Amino acid sequence: MEHEEMSLFPGLSRRDFLKSCGALAGLIGVSGPMAVPRVAQALEQMAKRPAIVWSCFQECLGCSVNLLQSRKPAPANLILQQISLNYHEAIMAPAGSQAKKSFHETVDSKDFYYVVEGGIATGIPDACTIGGMTSMEMCKDAYQKAKATIAIGTCACYGGIQAAAPNPSGSKGVTDFLKEDAGISNPTVINSPRCPGNADDTVAILLYAIVKGKLPELDSLGRPKFLFGQLVHDNCERRGHFDAGEFVEKFGDEGSDNGWCLYKVGCKGPVAYAPCPKTRWNANNGWPVSAGGPCIGCSEPDFWDKQSPFYEKAPGIKLPGDITPTQIGVGLGALTAVGIGAHFVGQAATGRLFKGAPVEGMEDKGSEEGGK
Among 36, 150, 189, 274, binds ligand F3S (CB under 6 A): 274
Among 35, 63, 146, 359, binds ligand FSX (CB under 6 A): 63
Size of residue set near ligand SF4 by CB under 6 A: 14
C-alpha dist (Å) from residue 83 to 38, 76, 77, 118, 216? 20, 11, 11, 21, 21
Contact partner at residue 233 from ligand F3S, ligand FSX, ligand SF4, none, CB < 5 to 8 Å by partner kind: ligand SF4
Contact between 276 and ligand SF4 per CB under 6 A: no
Phi, psi of 148 (to 5 degrees): -165, 155
Rounded to whole angstroms, the Cα distance separating 57 from 119 reads 6
Check if the beta carbon of residue 189 is closer than 8 Å to that of residue 207: no
Angle at 18 between CA 13 and CA 24, to 5 degrees: 130
Contact between 232 and ligand F3S per CB under 6 A: yes
Nearer to ligand F3S, 277 or 351 (CB): 277
Shortest CB 153 distance to ligand FSX, Å: 3
Minimal CA–CA distance to 83: which of 135, 134, 150, 23?
150
Contact between 63 and ligand F3S per CB under 6 A: no
Q: Which amino acid is at 285?
A: N
Contact between 261 and ligand SF4 per CB under 6 A: yes
Among 114, 263, 281, 287, binds ligand SF4 (CB under 6 A): 263
Contact between 352 and ligand SF4 per CB under 6 A: no
Contact between 177 and ligand SF4 per CB under 6 A: no
Contact between 270 and ligand FSX per CB under 6 A: no
Shortest CB 144 distance to ligand FSX, Å: 22
Write out the DSSP string of 303-356. Answer: HHHHS-STTSPPTTPPPGGG--GGGTTS-HHHHHHHHTGGGPPP------SSTT
Nearer to ligand SF4, 13 or 235 (CB): 235
Phi, psi of 86 (to 5 degrees): -70, -30
Residue 84 host element (H or E): strand 84-88
Contact between 295 and ligand SF4 per CB under 6 A: yes
The residue ranges that bind ligand F3S (CB under 6 A) are 194, 232, 272, 274, 276, 287-289, 295-299
